[in-house]
């Protein structure tokens, strides 16, 4: 899959995750961060990694989202 296709797919996936009803708990576990803001920051970091070739071995955006969910250390500088 080409990098732009991966970017487009992860954008859609993160938008769906951020707006999903199950994210209501997010406000209870974080202070001052909305799900939308968190996932926007995460999406920006993931896009940078895609452009840098970090996920060139991934076959889909879903695979990238799952890898990041399992281990944020795949994103350089994520805190």
Please report whether residue 64 resides in a domain. Answer: yes
Please report whether residue 8 resides in a domain. Answer: yes
What total number of domains does the chain contain? 1
Please report whether residue 51 resides in a domain. Answer: yes
Please report whether residue 19 resides in a domain. Answer: yes
Domain range for 25 is: 3-74
Q: What does the pLDDT read at residue 44? A: 95
Q: How far is residue 79's CA from residue 70's CA, in Å, rounded to a whole number?
A: 15
For residue range 65-75, list pLDDT tens digits in order: 999 999 999 99
For residue range 10-61, list pLDDT tens digits in order: 999 998 888 775 555 555 555 667 777 888 999 999 999 999 999 999 999 9
pTM of the model: 0.84
Q: What does the pLDDT read at residue 13? A: 94
Nearest to 33 by CA among 21, 41, 44, 45: 41
């Amino acid at each position: 899959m080409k990098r732009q296709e991966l970017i487009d797919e992860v954008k859609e996936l993160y938008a769906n995750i951020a707006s999903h009803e199950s994210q209501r708990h997010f406000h209870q576990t974080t202070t001052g961060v909305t799900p939308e803001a968190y996932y926007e920051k995460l999406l920006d970091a993931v896009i940078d990694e895609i452009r840098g070739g970090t996920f060139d071995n991934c076959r889909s955006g879903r695979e990238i989202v799952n890898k990041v969910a399992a281990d944020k250390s795949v994103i350089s500088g994520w805190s």
